[in-house]
């Protein structure tokens, strides 16, 4: 989101309203606490739970981000500053569109769908069993109805890959869907630094660990790494991301490192020879995959991790079963030449296919 804001500021006045849900959000809020253009609303697990309990007509995922204070700030900000357009990040922000349209009928609203929420929940439903499956079935029905409403209230829906564009058009019959290249967040000072100056047998997984798809994939990688360790004794595994659950922390030992929140994710990626993402859930394009590729760290992942990036496996090394992941990691860690060639191809592929220049043109056409 930060790159979009920086780009839009080049030709607009930009006012930011956002939730604070993590230490990272809090640190940014402290930095901009005296900035007139920046407003925040705090929510935590207890306020999220209350919102879910009191709004059963909304999907839980959306209800958790319902807030009267947030709605008040939106109305005040638009009215006080004569705002002409709303750029809403994430589908859950669509719940405020009805109020905005009612009070400001001529305002322009654009919605950025980071992933197609219904697809993510359908995958969770399909992988669940028993009462959990019924829960996800119920949530899928609510999400499909709500997400359709939010997309149709927006003037334009923005997605991060052509596959999601097709899904939005298929599910919700939306005509104006634009594709924005996601910014993969590279520190320009180290963008072209080779990770092969570091010797070792290091692999990493990164992600927001409070998300089910991430902590389950990280736990899976830890189990796979125990098999790899038998054949590669000097293996080191880095699980990088905010709010790791206890099941991950309990796995820490002399070669499995669960970092929690880190300020500079790139330093951990560049410490590793491979980035491995054995994802079974989730939807949309994975910025952690793009980020790793752009830094020249070869990626091993499955069809869900490669979605919208390289589903044919031209650059990404595809794997699905635990055995396939194990063999792919062992092969690349033991073959420096193959890994280095893949590193150079990964950087070129990410930069050529997901450069920010295309996104600037898309944003300029909308604002």
Q: Is residue 27's pLDDT more than 80?
A: no
The string of pLDDT tens digits covering residues 105-162 is 999 999 999 989 999 999 999 999 999 999 999 999 999 999 999 999 999 999 998 8
Q: Is 333 within the bounds of a domain? A: yes
Same-domain pairing of 80 and 16: yes
Per-residue pLDDT band at 200 (split at 50, 70, 90):
confident
Q: Is 31 within the bounds of a domain? A: yes
* Last-in-domain residue among 180, 196, 230: 180
Q: How many residues are listed for the chain in this entry?
A: 367
Mean pLDDT of 333-358: 91
Same-domain pairing of 172 and 193: no
Assign residue 312 the CATH number of its domain.
Answer: 3.40.50.2000
* Last-in-domain residue among 157, 180, 203: 180
Same-domain pairing of 218 and 305: yes
Same-domain pairing of 133 and 232: no
Q: Is residue 187's pLDDT more than 60?
A: no
Start-to-end C-alpha separation, the chain: 16
Strand pairing partners for 277? 301
Same-domain pairing of 102 and 197: no
Same-domain pairing of 171 and 192: no
Mean pLDDT of 14-21: 92
Same-domain pairing of 133 and 192: no
Mean pLDDT of 222-230: 96
Q: Is residue 186's pLDDT more than 80?
A: no
Q: Is residue 355's pLDDT more than 60?
A: yes
Same-domain pairing of 205 and 290: yes
Q: Is 363 within the bounds of a domain? A: no
Mean pLDDT for the chain overall: 91
Same-domain pairing of 310 and 275: yes
The string of pLDDT tens digits covering residues 285-312 is 899 999 999 999 999 999 999 999 999 9
Same-domain pairing of 212 and 337: yes
Query: What is the structure's pLDDT at 331?
Result: 96
| Number of domains present in the structure of the chain | 2
Q: Is residue 188's pLDDT more than 60?
A: no
Same-domain pairing of 220 and 119: no
* Last-in-domain residue among 140, 156, 180: 180
Q: Is 296 within the bounds of a domain? A: yes
Q: Is 358 within the bounds of a domain? A: no
Q: Is 359 within the bounds of a domain? A: no
Assign residue 53 the CATH number of its domain.
Answer: 3.40.50
Q: Is residue 56's pLDDT more than 80?
A: yes
Per-residue pLDDT band at 34 (split at 50, 70, 90):
confident
Q: Is 344 within the bounds of a domain? A: yes
Same-domain pairing of 200 and 61: no
Three-class DSSP labels, the chain: CHHHHHHHCCCCCCCEEEEECCHHHHHHHHHCCCCCCEEEEECCHHHHHHHHHHCCCCCHHHHCCCCHHHHHHHHHHHHHHCCCEEEEECHHHHHHHHHHHHHCCCCEEEEECCCCHHHHHHHHHHHCCHHHHHHHHHHHHHHHHHHHHHHHHCCEEEECCHHHHHHHHHHHCCCCEEECCCCCCCCHHHCCCCHHHCCCEEEEEECCCCCHHHHHHHHHHHHHHHHHHHHCCCEEEEEECCCCCHHHHCCCCCCEEEEECCCCHHHHHCCCCEEEECCCCCCCCCHHHHHHHHCCCCEEECCCCCCCCCCCCCCCEECCCHHHHHHHHHHHHCCHHHHHHHHHHHHHHHHHHCCHHHHHHHHHHHC
Query: What is the structure's pLDDT at 190?
Result: 47
Range of the domain at 60: 2-180
Query: What is the structure's pLDDT at 175?
Result: 86
Q: Is residue 191's pLDDT more than 70?
A: no
Q: Is 117 within the bounds of a domain? A: yes
* Most confident residue range from 20-34, 200-214, 223-237, 351-365: 223-237
Per-residue pLDDT band at 79 (split at 50, 70, 90):
very high
Query: What is the structure's pLDDT at 193?
Result: 45
Low-confidence winner among 21-35, 123-137, 180-194 (lowest mean pLDDT): 180-194
């Amino acid at each position: 989101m930060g790159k979009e804001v920086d780009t839009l500021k080049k030709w607009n006045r930009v006012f930011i309203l956002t939730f604070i849900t993590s230490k990272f959000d809090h640190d940014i809020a402290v930095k901009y606490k005296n900035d007139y253009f920046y407003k925040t609303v705090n929510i935590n697990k207890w306020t999220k739970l209350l919102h879910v309990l009191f709004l059963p007509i909304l999907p839980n995922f959306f209800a958790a981000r319902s807030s009267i204070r947030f709605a008040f700030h939106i109305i005040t900000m638009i009215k006080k500053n004569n705002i002409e357009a709303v750029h809403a990040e994430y589908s859950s922000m669509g719940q405020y569109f009805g109020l905005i349209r009612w009070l400001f009928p001529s305002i322009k609203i654009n919605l950025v769908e980071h992933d197609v929420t219904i697809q993510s929940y359908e995958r969770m439903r399909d992988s669940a069993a028993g009462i959990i499956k019924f829960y996800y079935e119920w949530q899928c029905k609510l999400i499909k109805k709500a997400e359709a409403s939010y997309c149709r209230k927006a003037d334009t829906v923005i997605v991060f890959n052509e596959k999601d564009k097709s899904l939005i058009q298929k599910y919700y019959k939306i005509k104006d869907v634009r594709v924005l290249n996601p910014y993969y967040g590279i520190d320009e000072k180290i963008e072209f630094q080779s990770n092969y100056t570091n010797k070792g047998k290091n692999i990493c997984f990164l992600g927001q660990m409070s998300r089910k798809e991430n902590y389950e994939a990280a736990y899976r990688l830890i189990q796979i790494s125990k098999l790899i360790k038998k054949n590669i004794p000097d293996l080191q595994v880095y699980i990088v991301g905010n709010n790791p659950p206890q099941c991950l922390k309990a796995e820490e030992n002399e070669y499995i490192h669960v970092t929690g929140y880190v300020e500079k994710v790139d330093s951990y990626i560049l410490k590793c020879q491979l980035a491995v993402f054995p994802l079974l859930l989730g939807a949309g394009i994975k910025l952690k995959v793009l980020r790793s590729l752009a830094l020249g760290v070869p990626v091993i992942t499955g069809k869900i991790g490669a979605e919208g990036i390289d589903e044919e496996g031209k650059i990404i090394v595809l794997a699905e079963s635990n055995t396939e992941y194990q063999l792919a990691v062992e092969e690349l860690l033991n073959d420096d030449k193959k890994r280095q060639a893949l590193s150079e191809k990964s950087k070129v592929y990410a930069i050529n296919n997901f450069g920010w220049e295309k996104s600037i043109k898309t944003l300029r056409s909308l604002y």
